[in-house]
């Protein structure tokens, strides 16, 4: 699994702004940025209505299964997954080699409208992640390797 760039407060604020914009323009309930390993990076919207940690893990799994199906039908890539429900629907879109955008919205909202407004956000999120990567190319983080029992290696005071 690829590593995330080291994100600082400014990065998270910009990513949050992109998510807020998607939520406002699409009338979505919640929008998330997750890594492809299924870890939640940041979210906006009604974050209390759903178990976002579990949704992040399962959305990532659905996306990765979708990529396997793409290979089986001789496609190089399916860049999104759409799950339609009676109350809520979910769109998962690839941001870059590390991250996915997840948008949860009421089933009455058109997936086309959500995708239309999510596509520019995906590009802006990818740019911000690239900026973070270029800021400190040697500092990256693979969330799947974190020792959650001892996060001291991740949370250190600035020198």
Per-residue pLDDT tens over the stretch 132-155: 999 877 665 555 554 445 555 555
Query: How confident is the model at residue 4, as a pLDDT?
Result: 84
Of residues 107, 138, 109, the one with CA closest to residue 22 = 109
Residue 4 main-chain phi, psi, to 5 deg: -80, 150
Angle between helices 111-135 and 9-26 (to 10 degrees): 170
Tokens of 61: 């799994």
Domains in the chain: ranges and CATH: 4-136 (3.30.450.30)
User: How many Å apart are CA 129 and CA 133, to the nearest integer?
Assistant: 6
Segment 102-128, tens digit of pLDDT: 999 999 999 999 999 999 999 999 999
Amino acid 150: pLDDT: 56
Provide CB contacts within 8 A for 149, sequence distance 6+: none
- d(CA 148, CA 141) in angstroms, rounded, equals 14
Spatial neighbors of 139 by CB under 8 A, at least 6 apart, are: 5, 6
List pLDDT tens digits, range 1-54: 457 888 889 999 999 999 999 999 999 999 999 999 999 999 999 989 999 999
Based on the number of CB atoms within 10 Å of its own CB, is 121 exposed (0-12), middle (13-18) or buried (19 or more)? buried
- Which pLDDT score is estimated for 3? 74
Q: What is the pLDDT of residue 6?
A: 85
Structure token digits, residue 78: 């399916």
pLDDT one-digit tens code per residue, 59-88: 999 999 999 999 999 998 889 999 999 999
Residue 1 is predicted with a pLDDT of 45
């Amino acid at each position: 699994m690829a590593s995330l760039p080291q994100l600082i407060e400014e990065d998270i604020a910009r990513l949050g702004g992109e998510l807020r914009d998607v939520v406002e323009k699409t009338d979505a309930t919640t929008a998330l940025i997750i890594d492809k390993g299924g870890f939640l990076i940041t979210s906006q919207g009604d974050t209390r209505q759903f178990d976002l940690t579990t949704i992040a893990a399962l959305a990532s799994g659905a996306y990765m299964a979708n990529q396997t199906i793409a290979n089986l039908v001789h496609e190089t890539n399916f860049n999104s997954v759409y799950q339609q429900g009676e109350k809520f629907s979910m769109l998962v879109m690839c941001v870059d080699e590390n991250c996915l955008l997840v948008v949860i919205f009421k089933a009455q909202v058109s997936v086309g409208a959500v995708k239309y407004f999510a596509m520019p956000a995906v590009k802006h999120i990818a740019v911000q992640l690239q900026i973070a990567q270029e800021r400190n190319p040697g500092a990256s983080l693979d969330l799947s390797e974190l020792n959650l029992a001892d996060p001291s290696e991740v949370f250190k005071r600035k020198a």
